[in-house]
Structure 1
Amino acid sequence: MKQLALAAARTIASEEGLRGVTVRRVAERIGYAPGTIYNLFANLDDLIVQVNGETLRGLGAALAQVGGGDPSTRARRMTDAYFDYVELAPRLWAMLFDHRLPDGVGLPDWYRQELDRLIGDAARRLGPALGDRSPADARRAVVAIWASLHGIATLSVSKKLGLVADVPARELGHFIVASIVSGAATDGRLNSSDIVQSYSKI
């Protein structure tokens, strides 16, 4: 029954986004009273966090399916896999970042572990492309890539990317990833000529 409720919440989020996900709506989808949902989850926030956890695991599985190849090719394929995953259910993906827990309430340990695992796995898979960076710097690079791609994907799916760039979302994403994995970004500064050269090699 818990899996049914999670599946219903995912479907509602995919169709309507975070605002559409309520205990009553989920209960109606699976044909039970709202009280049943509270027997399965502590509250609506708990339900949403668990759905978001499944979303994180789904992204991890999508990235894990990326094949081999040289480091730059793998980085490019992982970028495409990210965009594929976001574009498959953009409203569901947006819920990952739109949901806010009440003040004073932190994310559960298992959720933080999912995030840690996702970032760590991505850093290992991108390892050869990241050169001789330390493990800590490799993780920072992955976080920077994720934040950048999230912004690009969000602007793209909301049809607002054209307001800031006359470049297809994926092309811009590949540009960002290439600039980071090439080592062109140092001490917070970007050398534009190095970035263009690194991107042209991919």
Structure 2
Amino acid sequence: MSKTLERREKLRSNLILAAERMIADRGLSGLKTRDLAREIGCANGAVYNLVADMDELILRVGSRTLLRLDEALSAAESAGEPSPQETLVRIALAYCDFAAENLQLWRALFEHRMEADKVVPDWSVQDQMQLFRHIYQPLAALFPKRSREALGITARSLFSAVHGMVALGLEQKLVAVPLPALRKEIAGLVRAMIDGLIVRDVERSGGG
């Protein structure tokens, strides 16, 4: 690699790290091109020689956040008893803890909106979708007769329920819930949902 390309790659990496720090400190709305340029030591316009636009920069930061979330969920999977239901509980609690510890970066994953005529790049979609394996695999063990499509829908529904509780529980407003209480409620929700799904499966199969 030439010296010029090496310098560009280093500057690009510094830009992504600077954006990550800025979002963590100020939230997504606090991400400013001029501040980024000043921090990494380049002209304002040079930022767009390193990334296509702010959308790409935010998505690159998001990929780093998703990678760390993936690592946290993987650690939770192997941290206790191997029963699929309790694995799902640990994953949900790890998700809650990650959100609480990385609040602004976690919020940025969901607050960022691409322009209507823009398509989210494949690499970013892949980074997002691969996280569902943490939910899908325990569900597949619990419900081996369900189709992949049905399991995928259940995985997304379970995620939506947990995410909704986390998003509201961590709001710094009247609806905020203390973290220990929120964790307890999330564990109860996941267990209740899985118990309900098991009962429904038994009823559909004609079991007693």
Residue segments in structure 1 that go unaligned for 5+ positions in a row: 188-202
Task: Show structure 2 runs of 5+ residues with no match.
Answer: 1-10, 202-208
> Structure 1's 158 and 185: CA in aligned 2 closer, same or farther, altered over 3 A?
farther
Count of matched residue pairs:
186
**Higher alpha-carbon Rg:** 2
Q: Which residue, out of 151, 166, 173, partners 2:186?
A: 173
Shift of 1:29: 2.2
Q: 1:184 to 1:29 in 2, by over 3 A?
A: farther
Identify the residue that residue 144 of structure 1 maps to in structure 2: 157
TM-score, normalised to structure 1, is 0.81
Of residues 5, 26, 44, the one that matches 2:15 is 5
1-side partners of 2:199 and 2:61: how far apart? 35
Distance 1:89 1:142 in 2: 23
53, 56, 59: which is aligned to 2:69? 59
Question: Per-residue deviation at 1:137?
Answer: 2.0
Task: Kindly state the Cα deviation for residue 184 of structure 1 after the two structures are TM-superposed.
Answer: 5.8
Indicate yes or no: 2:129 matched with 1:116: yes
Sequence identity, in percent? 29
| 1:16 is the counterpart of 2:26 | yes
Q: Superposition pairs for residues 182-193 of structure 1, below 5 Å?
A: 182=195, 183=197
* 1:80–1:170 CA contact under 8 A, matched in 2: yes
Alignment partners' CA distance in 2, 1:9 and 1:186: 47
Write the deviation string for residues 62-104 of structure 1: whole angstroms up to 9, x where unpaired.
Answer: 1111215222221221112111111111111111111111111
1:142-164, Cα deviation, whole Å (9 max, x unpaired): 21122222221121221347479
Give the Cα–Cα distance (whole angstroms) in 1 for the partners of residues 191 and 156 of structure 2. Answer: 14
Pick one of 41, 46, 56 that aligns with 1:36: 46
